[in-house]
Amino acid sequence: MLIGEVARRSGVSTRMLRHYDSLGLVRPTGRTVGGYREYAEADIRRIFHVEGLRSLGMSLRQIGQALADPAFTPSALVDDLIRRTEDRLQREQELLERLRAIDASEPAGWDTVLHVVELLHELDSPSPSRRQRAALAPVEDVPLLAKAVLAEAHPNVAGALRWALARAGADAVAGVAAGMHSADTEVRRRAVRAIAELPGEEATAILKDALEDPDPDVRRNAALAAGRRGTTTAVPALVAMVAEGTNDVEAAEVLGTLAQDPVQGQRILDALAGELAADAAVRLRVTQALAELPGDLAHALLRQLRDDEDRTVALLAEALDGRSTP
């Protein structure tokens, strides 16, 4: 079969077939009397083998080595191709995200595009100090800040980014709200910390929903933030924080504020009393939390705790009860 017919049947151009011949990758078995390349059936099969391997991303050099080595095992090469493909996809995904960030900024001209590109470079810098400086500079691109907040692991940079995002007010909520639905626990933690610093009913509603998050850290941050906004559904989580000893001082302060309402005050008192069946360490934290409740709300319970079997708990209850009683 002559080269023209091979090209038509295989879909490989005559130019590429000549290139394969020059490399020794696919050499025609014979030549016609006139010197034209003549391909046998085995040659055509080899062409299809080459094209198949090219479709996997292999270079012509790699293909030549693979076809020339009868002991060739493809596993190592395939692993390498997988790694390279993953790297390429990651670079393309990063490019796509950059383009989306620029598009979201609705650039009016090249100056805006270049500004966003420069900001992206700074926020993507491996240097935490450069990322922090970028966050502290005037940034009006809320979607870009939200994306950076959800991705930032360095605590100082994350704090600067949250501060920058908070300057946008309630308008920033939508940008980070998507992070609360991420399968990545760290992303949800970053999102709830950011939302905790944003005003508005939408932020409060998201914090209420986060009280049911499977991650305890997300639930605790949501409980503290929602409780400070007067959300009473945060009470069980706040009481649990007191009992567990996780941010228990902050939780007790929030419970004290919520207890200003008489109905909620009694509910909170009953919930704290329900934790007194635990060990002495828990009873001590509960006793400390009772000090945050307004007026004489905790007087009867503190009087009871003055007889606690643990001397430290008893002495603290006595001191607190004496302080609250005229």
Average pLDDT over residues 184-206: 95
Of 110 and 26, the structure prediction assigns the larger pLDDT to 26
| Long-range contacts formed by 247-250: CB under 8 A, 24+ apart | 247/220, 248/285, 248/288, 248/289, 249/288, 250/224
Looking from the CA of 115 toward its CB, the CA atoms found within 13 Å total 14
pLDDT of residue 133: 67
Can you point out the beta strands (E) in 154-301? none
Domain ranges of the chain: 3-72, 230-326
Confidence check: pLDDT of 195 > 90: yes
Instruction: Tell me how far the alpha carbon of residue 111 is from its chain's centroid.
Output: 31
For the whole model, what pTM was predicted?
A: 0.61
Which of 256, 252, 192 minimizes the C-alpha distance to 226?
A: 192
Question: Could you read off the pLDDT of 67-103 as tens digits, one per residue?
Answer: 887 776 667 667 777 887 787 777 667 656 666 666 7
Which amino acid makes up residue 292? Answer: E
Percent of the chain scored above 90 by pLDDT? 44
Average pLDDT over residues 295-299: 89
User: What pairs with residue 2 in β-bridges?
Assistant: 38
Non-local (6+) Cβ contacts of 23 within 8 A are 60, 64
Its sign, for the CA torsion 9, 12, 13, 15, is: negative
Pick the CATH number of 3-72 from 1.10.10.10, 3.90.550.10, 3.30.70.100, 1.10.1660.10: 1.10.1660.10
Which of 157-166, 216-225, 306-315 has the lowest average pLDDT? Answer: 157-166
Of 101 and 128, the structure prediction assigns the larger pLDDT to 128
Q: Compute the distance between CA of residue 119 and CA of residue 139 in angstroms, rounded to an integer.
A: 9
Non-local (6+) Cβ contacts of 299 within 8 A are 321, 324, 325
Q: Compute the distance between CA of residue 273 and CA of residue 292 in angstroms, rounded to an integer.
A: 14
Q: Compute the distance between CA of residue 107 and CA of residue 115 in angstroms, rounded to an integer.
A: 10
The helix or strand, by DSSP H or E, that contains position 271, with its residue range, turns out to be helix 262-273
> Hunting for tokens 């151009």 — which residue is that?
13
Average pLDDT over residues 296-309: 92
Q: How many residues does the chain have?
A: 326
Question: Could you read off the pLDDT of 241-278 as tens digits, one per residue?
Answer: 999 999 999 999 999 999 999 999 999 999 999 999 99
